Structure 1
Amino acid sequence: MLRAYQFRLYPNKEQQSYFANYFGSVRFIYNQMLADKIDHYKKTGKMLKNTPAQYKEEFLFLKDVDSLALANAQLNLEKAYKNFFREKSVGFPKFKTKHKSKASYTTNNQSGNIRIEDGKIKLPKIGFVTIKQHRDFDGVIKSCTISMNKAGKYFISILVEQETPEWLPAEHKIGIDLGLSDFAITTNDSDESVKYANPKCLDRSEKKIKKAQRALSRKQKRSKNQEKARLVLAKK
């Protein structure tokens, strides 16, 4: 059984620079391979079988990037390309952009090159990065995806292979009724009901988001103040 666990990362300045390079390189190789596939198909009517290794001599900066991160970008492109030819309704693969596409890359665990020790996780070519592991897990790490959100926060999603648990039959049955006046009402085998009040945190969050959206809309386009307001909204 495969299960994913997501944790917060706290890279230092040097590691942030590495991540930025990886995000950009993965996006670049995806776009370059897609452009060459399109050009080849227009000329020959056939699908081009290209790999990241073919581009490393021309684009030397790719040699500094984890090869498995580039390989996973290739796999994502191949999957999107084949899905289009199998079912046109899914749409043709789109080029990735710095500001609209998600900043992320995926790498695989080989011979323990990804592991957690003393509050840090070791990543290929980067080394140990501080991780906030709020829960433990058992199993073998298969791969991990590092990402950065619009607010500049870093996260890691770790895919773990675990033994399938032997689920025990439930001894008690509980009914749950979701409503508007109450968040939920639970009823057990003894017909005992418990009411849970609606949390007000959602209302407060919505008000903060609306206020931040109004502030963003008043800023001049492509200005520094607009970028600051965008970050404030992203953090809400």
Structure 2
Amino acid sequence: MVKLNQKNIFGYTHYAKEIYQQFLFVSGARPVPERLRPFLNVPSNWVAPPEAELSHFHALFSDTDVFVVEVSSIREVVFKSILLQINRVQELLASDPAVLANWWKPMLRTGVNDVSAYPLDKVTPVDAEVVNSLVIREQTTDQLESDIRRIMTFLDKPIVFVSHFDTDYDRTSIPQRRMIIDTLGRVCRRRGVHVFDPTSEVLDAGLDVAITDLGHYKPSFEPRIAECMEQCIQKVLMPKEPVAMRA
């Protein structure tokens, strides 16, 4: 049986640098700015550990047998030195259809933050501060490789990396997702680390059965993905057979 061991983990992450940042937050090694908690999806009752050392992360998860790490995006959302949670940024700053169309979507597409397209006079000082300094950029393959290796080195335990499913509505590949899957596969093969790519499960079942949109599974399909994940985890934890000695 697989038992979830969340400990002090909050919210969820999308891109590799954001994953490592959560190691820092969860361990207390980096303080979470109070005014940015909503943009990081930090619950109001979440409390950082008092130790404030990165090594505390390993103490928190000393009884964890395997880490499951999902990398689903190469798009980084940066405010000064803090990596923000992309869905929360959209919910908090671009829920208005006009803002979504005139500011948020063009920035996702081009990487250009056209602050003049945002109604700064209608938002809080914190929201205005974030809008003025927000940067959105896409990782290169080399940057993603470096972040994956850093995650592996830091966790220093068995890992299952998980990608997003790589299919558009017409069943064609999505370049950014393909880059993640290929990079994970290449880096993880070198180190004997497992990767679970759910694409074939989604395509075999059919998009109308498996997904609600390009970001989410249908609730009725989630047990199938959970079953695949559990099988992958069990393989990772399976005792290694001893190598026979040569005569």
TM-score between the two structures when normalised by the length of structure 1 = 0.23
Point out the structure with max Rg over C-alpha.
1
TM-score between the two structures when normalised by the length of structure 2 = 0.23
**In proportion to residue count, which structure has more strand?**
1
**In proportion to residue count, which structure has more helix?**
2
